[in-house]
Amino acid sequence: MSRLSQGPGAGETIEHPIEELSALRDVDPPAALVARVMTRLAEPRPVSMWHWLRRPFAIEIRLSPFAIICLALGLGALFVIVGANMR
């Protein structure tokens, strides 16, 4: 049974811990329970469709300066050819 005492305000009660129940904090959990919880934590959760769609992705393009120059010259030549054929 818990003991109640009057607090600083009118009608307020403060509950003190029960000594008999505080000894239960030192009880070790069963080994099967610990193993099941650790197994559940170690297994990854299956990814839902919503999480898969919202997952960010990164695209990495690595270009050397020579490749950038060649790409710029090629695009310039393409614009000249397309522009000359549009007349």
pLDDT tens-digit series, residues 18-39: 777 777 777 777 777 777 777 7
Domains of the chain, by residue range, sit at: 7-44
> pTM (2 decimals)?
0.33
Cα of first residue to Cα of last residue in the chain, in angstroms, is 98
pLDDT tens-digit series, residues 47-77: 888 888 888 888 898 999 999 999 999 999 9
Amino acid letter, residue 52 = W
Residues 46, 27: Cα–Cα separation, whole Å: 34
Cα atoms found within 13 Å of the Cα of residue 47, Cβ hemisphere only: 7
List CB contacts of 7: < 8 A, sequence separation 6 or more.
13, 14
Higher pLDDT, 83 or 21: 83
